[in-house]
A and B are shown apart, each in its own frame.
Chain A
Amino acid sequence: MINLKINGLEVKAEEGWTVLETAKFYGLEIPTLCYNEGLSPYGGCRLCLVEIGEGPKAKLVSSCTYPAEEGLIVRTDTKRVIETRKMMIELMLSLAPNSKVIQDLASKFGVTQVRFKIRNEECILCGLCVRMCAEQMDGRAIGFQHRGYKRKISTPFDIRSEECRLCGGCIYICPACQLRCQGPEAETAVCNACLNMDPTCLDHYDDLQCWMYDAGRCGTCVRESKEKSKEQTSKQ
């Protein structure tokens, strides 16, 4: 067993566990995006960052790839982690503003602006689709090509791949493929629908009418509350 500390809590990890796996075992929450239990960890989205060590040598590492080490001191929500995490989300929003997953992360962690030029590529190159295709579906039809700012995911020669069996695994696992609450024709890059929600259904019903805690999904609350606040400002 490996002994380490997470947020001051003394925890034990098995050989071969990562910091993220250890945290999950203990029910401690670290946000992730490119991590999936059934796939090998990649460490590309930089959302699962935690601060290890103390003092001037402390640094941020991706918990999904960092191995649990004896005596490691981990903190999941330091000032540095939070500021960096917000910048990562802001970068992701500028690349895929139509993704519900990323918009939800924005609301959850208080990202309310996108100061970058929107370059909507509907993809953040998290690599989940590549790993899904290779590891779970044994297809190897898509992969990373080029590097740096020119990096992309595609089939060989950008044509229909002979290896692709049309299983749909890549679409299933893609975080950018679920549409955001305010829809693809949204006015702003940042949705924040759930932050600005005022459940109108509670005026009529005792229970929140959204199923599966998908608050704001139908858009009614948001639209109605927007109109309500427009009315209020025009009245003033």
Chain B
Amino acid sequence: MEVQELKVKSFVTKYHSEKKALISVLQDIQEEYNYLPQEALKIVSDTLGIPLIDIIGVATFYRAFSLEPRGKHLVTVCMGTACHVRGGPKILEEFERKLNITAGETTEDRQFSLETVACLGCCAIGPVVVVDGDYHAQTSIRKVGSILKKYMKKEKKNESN
């Protein structure tokens, strides 16, 4: 997706061009482009008057941001303590096997990104997996395949339309 200078500048002015709103600006850019494009960061640096190196520091420090484009579907596996005790790591491994990537990576066709999160606060229904904002409760190794199929089907549907 091409970075539109006006769009990025609008995110900055939304917060009255205040330096302290850097994280909020980056969150808006992340949501818009599904990652933080280099050009966007340079625009933010110029308009907010913050050195680019400091912006990179913030962008890489926080988990919410990604400097590489994320996949169309974001698979987030919860690695919280409760989910861990209920077998979370085995679920992650199954996703890694099925998607052929490791956590933190995106599939070559840019369809899926696999991430982990420390805790979503839904421990009662663990192990939890969130795909595109949909929460999947009590995931098991068996369910992984059908969860992925659901989103792959969506792709085929969209393609044929």
Q: A and B touching (C-beta < 8 Å)?
A: yes
Question: Which A residues form the contact surface with B (CB < 8 A)?
Answer: 140-147, 155-157, 161, 163
Across the interface, name the chain A residue whose C-beta is closest to B50.
A140
Across the interface, name the chain A residue whose C-beta is closest to B45.
A156
List of B residues within 8 angstroms of A157 by Cβ: 38, 56, 67
Asked if B53 and A140 make an inter-chain contact with CB atoms under 8 angstroms apart, the answer reads yes
Number of A-B contacts (CB under 8 A): 30
User: Would you call B159 an interface residue if the criterion is a C-beta within 8 Å of the partner chain's C-beta atoms?
Assistant: no
**Bound-complex Cα distance A146 to B54 (A):** 12
List of B residues within 8 angstroms of A142 by Cβ: 53
Max chain B Cβ within 10 angstroms of own Cβ: one of A140, A145, A147, A155: A145
Question: Which B residues form the contact surface with A (CB < 8 A)?
Answer: 38, 41, 51-54, 56-57, 60-61, 67
Across the interface, name the chain A residue whose C-beta is closest to B62.
A147
User: Given that A140-B51, A156-B52 are known contacts, is A145 also in contact with B57, CB under 8 Å in the complex?
Assistant: yes
Closest 7 CB pairs of A and B: A143-B53, A140-B51, A145-B60, A146-B60, A156-B56, A156-B52, A143-B57
Asked if B57 and A144 make an inter-chain contact with CB atoms under 8 angstroms apart, the answer reads yes
List of A residues within 8 angstroms of B51 by Cβ: 140, 163
**Bound-complex Cα distance A71 to B106 (A):** 57
**Bound-complex Cα distance A157 to B61 (A):** 14
Asked if B60 and A156 make an inter-chain contact with CB atoms under 8 angstroms apart, the answer reads no
List of A residues within 8 angstroms of B57 by Cβ: 143-145
- Report A164 CB to chain B, min CB distance, Å: 10
**Bound-complex Cα distance A140 to B53 (A):** 7
- Report B8 CB to chain A, min CB distance, Å: 17
Max chain A Cβ within 10 angstroms of own Cβ: one of B51, B53, B54, B67: B53
**Bound-complex Cα distance A142 to B53 (A):** 6
Asked if B54 and A143 make an inter-chain contact with CB atoms under 8 angstroms apart, the answer reads yes
Across the interface, name the chain B residue whose C-beta is closest to A150.
B60
